[in-house]
Structure 1
Amino acid sequence: MSHASPLGPTLETDRLILRPTAMEDFERWCDFQADAETTRFIGGARSPAEVWRVLMSVAGAWALTGEGFFSVIEKSSGQWIGRIGPWNPHGWPGPEVGWSLHRDAMGKGYALEAAVATMDYAFDVLGWDDVIHSIDPDNEASKALAARLRSVNRGPGRLPAPFEASRVDLWGQTKAEWAENRKRFA
């Protein structure tokens, strides 16, 4: 199911609502970004002032480009549990579906559920021909999720400034590959 908000669509899965960022997400997003372990592969812990800027950038991406990180909301509790994107920043190595979950949402299959819906959205609605996932080579959980999506490791990639020192492998698949791989999740 899909609905539109002033910034973008809202997608629903069995257990999740994926919608553009809203101010009500700020407190949980701060809690998520304050966790050094959870954020070690996405730039590390951030202060509330830094999270504010990230939140505004994500909302701005939706407003200006029609794509950005969805806020992932657990239907049963209404709680913000993470972010997942169709995300294509300037200078990025390709259009990305990337994910990060709050520590208390990990290990429940939410990332896979949200990623499948977001991959569908990227290919079917945004019309992307290819999707990448830029993943730190030491991030075993994200590599496992990419593999479950049937994305393949295409090798080392390079992110633009200010992330140029980040080590990433570019995982991904084409729209045609996703059409076949998607059948596993029907």
Structure 2
Amino acid sequence: MHGPRIETDRLILRPTAPEDFDAWAECLADPVVTRFLGGPQPRALAWRNFMTMAGSWAILGFGMFSVIERDTGRWLGRLGPWQPEGWPGHEIGWGLVQGAWGKGYALEGAAASMDWAFEHLPWAEVIHSINPENIASIALAEKLGSTRLGPGTLPAPFEGDRVDLWGQTREQWLARRRR
């Protein structure tokens, strides 16, 4: 496994690794978790999604991190930098297993991944593409200091998905972190 390893108080963020796949596939099969992520995926499609993220790390030098709970070693989800072809901006996204919801893990991990992205990638701003009904992700974007930029359009095959773009600049993020 090549790439950064970021440790926070409760989490380890690192590129995807082979041992993550079973939990990854289980997460992407959960209709509640995937309600705003395109819906449940069968294991074979989850494998393609998993390999896409690994390929992003290998080719671009960034991708969403696997989120590992430090105390248990349990895989909790994926989050971090992401920019597929035709995407409306440099995304910091998130998706965690239900058992990790409501514990502040997404905020802790997303903040650490934004720190990493702004330090290591030539990004002047980040976005979060969020379905307007996804109240929990909107609240997380606001806690990160992002503001609603307006409706967005995703590339095929997601062009019919409703999303609002939330975001902020590097300068806004760094000023917030200095407080």
Same-fold status (TM-score > 0.5): yes
> 2:33 maps to what in 1?
38
Q: d(CA) in 2 for partners of 1:87 and 1:34? A: 21
Take 1:169 and 1:29, find their aligned partners in 2: how far apart are those partners?
Answer: 26
2:150 aligns with one of 142, 148, 155: 155
What amino acid does structure 1 have at the position aligned with 2:64? F
Alignment correspondent of 1:174: 169
Tell me the residue number matched to 1:130. 125
Structure 2 equivalent of residue 120 of structure 1: 115
Equivalent residue in structure 2 for 1:104, among 87, 99, 102: 99
After TM superposition, which residue ranges in structure 1, 4 or more long, deviate above 4 angstroms? none
- Quick one: which amino acid aligns to residue 149 of structure 2? R
Match 1:86 to one of 81, 87, 112: 81
Q: Report the Cα distance in structure 1 between the residues aligned to 2:122 and 2:89, rounded to whole angstroms.
A: 14
Shift of 1:183: 3.2
Report the secondary structure of 1:9's partner residue.
Answer: coil
1:88 Cα deviation from its structure 2 partner: 1.1
Looking at structure 2, the residues matched to 136 and 181 of structure 1 have their Cα atoms a distance apart, in angstroms, of: 25
Opposite residue 96 of structure 1, the aligned amino acid is E
AA aligned to 1:50 is: L
Please, what TM-score do these two structures have when normalized by structure 2? 0.98
Uncovered stretches (5+) of structure 1, i.e. residues with no partner: none
Q: Is 1:12 matched up with 2:4?
A: no
Deviations 1:11-57 (A, max 9, x none): 11011000000111111111111110111100010111111101111
Count of residues in Structure 1 that have an aligned counterpart in Structure 2 = 179
After TM superposition, give the deviation of residue 128 of structure 1 in Å: 1.0
Residue 17 of structure 2: aligned partner? 22
Take 1:127 and 1:75, find their aligned partners in 2: how far apart are those partners? 29
Partner of 1:53: 48
Tell me the CA shift for residue 90 of structure 1.
Answer: 1.0
**Residue 144 of structure 1 corresponds to which residue in structure 2?**
139
Post-superposition shift, 1:10?
1.0
Unaligned runs of 5+ in 2: none
Q: AA paired with 2:58?
A: A
Identical aligned residues as a percent:
59
Aligned-pair RMSD on alpha carbons? 0.9
Number of the residue aligned with 2:58: 63
Secondary structure of 1:97 counterpart: strand
How much has 1:127 moved relative to structure 2?
Answer: 2.6
Corresponding residue of 2:160: 165
Aligned to 1:127, the other structure's residue is in SS state coil
TM-score normalised over the length of structure 1: 0.94
